[in-house]
Amino acid sequence: MLYRWMKPLVFRLDPERAHEGTMALWSGVLRVPGMAALARAWFTRGLRGPTAIGAAGGEGSEGVEVAGVRFPNRVGLAAGFDKEGRWLREMAALGVGFVEVGTVTPRAQPGNPRPRLFRLPSDSAIINRMGFNNGGVEALAARLRHRPPGLVVGGNLGKNKDTPNEEAVADYLACFHALHQVVDYFVVNVSSPNTPGLRALQDRGPLGALLAALQGANVALPVPRPIFLKIAPDLTDAQLDDIVALVAETGIAGVIATNTTVERPAQLRTPRAAVEACGAGGLSGAPLRARSTEVVRYLHERSGGTFPIIGVGGIDSAEAAREKLAAGAVLVQVYSGLIFQGPGLFRRIRLGLRGWPSPSPQRPA
């Protein structure tokens, strides 16, 4: 209810300023004595489980095991929202089951010039060309050493903008080793459209080499972590078939489907001139819902359900989340839906997923 009142004011601000400002405000609220427990109780009312802020929503009957990791509930925050791992406590208070931080690169980099984030309110969509802006992997690792207990955290890995694709494996390995002790799973991001040439790493040859290198380093460690591959919604069926084959060949845990799209669907309600004025970047939100569900379903059917899929793209309601699970996903992630629907979205989705059958056990990393 409060977000409905705040939203028109927030949407008057530049999207990046609004993002930083609202999270700073929420962080300040939680520092008031007693507010953390009150927030937890409010955002998890009607759901089973403890209300302590570190418990990530309370497991109760919602907990699911995926790739050897026990998730308190199926609803997580997608990468890009909390790139630096600064707001884990703040997100845990909203009842999320897991948070994916990043995308992180070995060295700090500013990302693309501003403005680089745009809202399409008529479409409940966002266009971004952030460009992996982050403070570097060592700063993120240091912050994650103080993460809230009970919250599952994933690390989304990328390469620096000035690293040639031929040397990309070294960047991904550097991030992997720096974060291995402080995250529960990894995500290999080769699908962002905002780093020049990055999507070329989705081709079978370079992608196979990258995944094999990461999984080789992973299984050599005493406690391997599940590795997921995040893919674009713009892949052809033949490319998706390659993804299914590569998961089997390399032994990674599974796939996150999908990242943002470079397409501008004809059915967008926003006037074409306004969309074009935003410029290049990845489109996310409601217009991506159908395509991302198609990709989830295709991967699930072609693989025979042999690996877990995390569904993301246009999830702004419990119905949209159930659609992803019915297509074959085992977990879902939210980002753009949070911007347009507000923080109560996590609770509404969790309530809408009560009673959903647990997934079949999946292989750990």
Residues involved in catalysis: 192
Q: By C-alpha distance, which of 46, 82, 258, 49 is closest to 155?
A: 82
CA distances in angstroms from 351 to 48, 233, 245, 249, 356, listed in the order given: 10, 28, 36, 38, 10
State which amino acid sits at residue 64: V
| CA–CA distance, 173 with 88 (Å, rounded to integer) | 24
The DSSP code sequence of 123-143 is GTEEEE---S-BS-HHHHHHH
Q: What's the token pair of residue 345?
A: 């979205």
Q: How far apart are CA 232 and CA 202, in angstroms?
A: 9
111 CA to centre of own chain: 18
- Residue type, position 81, single letter: F
Instruction: Please work out, in degrees rounded to the nearest 5, the angle formed at the alpha carbon of residue 72 by the alpha carbons of 69 and 77.
Output: 90
Rounded-to-integer distance, Cα 238 and Cα 279, Å? 29
CA-closest candidate to residue 318, choices 344, 300, 339: 344
Helix then strand then coil, in percent of the chain rounded to 5, is: 40, 15, 40
Tell me the three-class secondary structure of 197-227, residue by residue. Answer: CHHHHHCHHHHHHHHHHHHHHHHCCCCCCCE
Q: Report, in angstroms and rounded to the nearest whole number, the Rg of the chain calculated over CA atoms.
A: 19
Please name which of 163, 152, 142, 261 lies closest in space to residue 210, comparing C-alpha atoms. Answer: 163
**Which residues have C-beta within 8 Å of that of residue 114, sequence separation ≥ 6?**
16
Instruction: Residue 185: count other Cβ atoms within 10 Å of its Cβ.
Output: 24
